[in-house]
Structure 1
Amino acid sequence: TEAAPTTPVAASVTQDRKGGERELGVRYEAQPNFYYCGPAAARNALSVQGKNIDVDGMAQRMGTTEAGTNSINDITPVLNKETGKDAYQSVEIPGAKADDKQTDKLRGDIVTAIDEGHAIVANIAGTATDTDGTTHSFEGGHYISVVGYRDNGNTVTIADSANPNQASYRMSVDNLADWIATRGYTA
């Protein structure tokens, strides 16, 4: 693969945005085992910035075991170290469902992050339905990357390391916010 262009991200973002939508280019990799979803989601998120990070090294820094990665708060510092700045901050959605304020904040955080050229990582749990009507179920929890948006952030593009056959799908931000509920995300 070629090196990422050295054009400032802000300049390319302005040119690429059209009609309230933006997609970042992901160099997708599936997770190598059942418990590496956190490191794999972080790797996929960092790939949009042209970074190719070893998932084993990230898993070690995140404290990932066969029980998974404990929390989004274990992922945020690794993303910040790899980007060389404090671009990422953890946000929790503590209730069983996201309220309108939390959903609006998530939408705004996604649009801002994507426009700045970086993907977000979300810790999700339970079942959610994408825009094609396909259900995605992770009762024990899972990590995904959000790599794009449409309709001013009302629909988001997800890179999911769990299944290469469903590597990318779109979901309403309302469904995503409820999927994140009881967990959190880093943007």
Structure 2
Amino acid sequence: MKRQIAAGLGAATLTLGIAVSTGASADALPQTQQQTSSRVEIASSRMLETVHQWQETGYWCGPAATRHALTARGIESYSQSELADRLGTDTGGTDHISQVTGVLNDLGAGNYKTVETLSDPMSDSQKAALWDHIVESVNADRAVVANIISMPSSKPDHYPNSTIYHYFTISGYDSDTDRVRIVDSAFGVARYWLPFDQAARLIAGKGYSYHDA
């Protein structure tokens, strides 16, 4: 399904181990098509460049995802350790997506806002807002950071077959294939494309941080 392009809790976060740098990267951008008019040109797909890092501890997915979003703006000077301090991350993880929003704003990444306490499953209106927020953020050269719950029924193919609390970064979209591009700090695949509906299932019940253009 080609998705229309628009012109935006709680528990501690923990992953099961740290990925290694030998993981594959599914990073190719689908063929881009464009719609043009006398006033505006809208690409049906776009992705941002980010500097990837694997998370340095089993509970630093929040700092790593925040760093990925910062690097989309060319901000590369902050280590995961420094970001963990700013986020209040401890051995239980990063407690809330709003902590990510605050740090992104404090460090000059953009005008970030938090969407939280989403129903599970998301309503149609929540999914539509998520898509619009991804498109608007990426079009403004900002990535989205998402707090997720991965379960066997919704997990990406390369994730463990268990329930995992995690953060990842969304750095692109393709409306022709209805997918979003993920930058991930764990589980062996640094970058990959995920069906939008699957991403919405992962974020449902948690929240995300997006740039309000």
Structure 1 residue runs without a partner (length 5+)? 1-16
> How much does 1:126 deviate?
2.2
* Alignment-derived partner of residue 205 in structure 2: 182
Residue in structure 2 matching 1:170, options 156, 169, 193? 193
TM-align CA RMSD: 1.9
* Alignment-derived partner of residue 34 in structure 2: none
Q: TM-score, normalised by structure 2?
A: 0.73
> How much does 1:135 deviate?
4.8
Superposed, 1:145-156 pairs within 5 Å as 145-151=169-175, 154-156=178-180
The percentage of counterpart residues that share the same residue type is 33
* Alignment-derived partner of residue 124 in structure 1: 148
Cα deviations by residue, 1:45-92 (Å, 9 ceiling, x for unpaired): 11111111221111111110010000101111000011265x110002
* Alignment-derived partner of residue 101 in structure 1: 125
The answer to whether 1:81 aligns with 2:106 is yes
Amino acid at match of 2:89: T
> How much does 1:34 deviate?
0.3
* Alignment-derived partner of residue 44 in structure 1: 68
State how far apart, in whole Å, the 1-side matches of 2:96 and 2:175 are: 30
State how far apart, in whole Å, the 2-side matches of 1:63 and 1:113 are: 25
* Alignment-derived partner of residue 12 in structure 1: none
Verify the 8 A CA contact 1:111 1:152 in the aligned structure 2: no
Indicate how the Cα distance of structure 1 residues 101 and 54 shifts in structure 2: closer, same or farther if over 3 A, else same.
same
Verify the 8 A CA contact 1:161 1:167 in the aligned structure 2: yes
Residue in structure 2 matching 1:72, options 97, 102, 109? 97
Verify the 8 A CA contact 2:70 2:109 in the aligned structure 1: no
Residue in structure 1 matching 2:116, options 92, 96, 105? 92
* Alignment-derived partner of residue 167 in structure 2: 143
Cα deviations by residue, 1:100-123 (Å, 9 ceiling, x for unpaired): 111110000000000000101000
Cα deviations by residue, 1:112-164 (Å, 9 ceiling, x for unpaired): 0000001010000023355xxx253562410000001112682100000013x
Return the structure number with greater helix share: 1
> How much does 1:94 deviate?
2.5
Larger radius of gyration: 2
State how far apart, in whole Å, the 2-side matches of 1:93 and 1:55 are: 26
Amino acid at match of 1:94: L
User: How many residues are treated as equivalent by the alignment?
Assistant: 166
State how far apart, in whole Å, the 1-side matches of 2:168 and 2:197 are: 16
Q: Any idea what SS the aligned residue of 1:83 has?
A: coil
Verify the 8 A CA contact 2:158 2:189 in the aligned structure 1: no
The 4+ residue runs of structure 1 with deviation greater than 6 A are none
Verify the 8 A CA contact 2:155 2:202 in the aligned structure 1: no
Verify the 8 A CA contact 2:137 2:143 in the aligned structure 1: yes
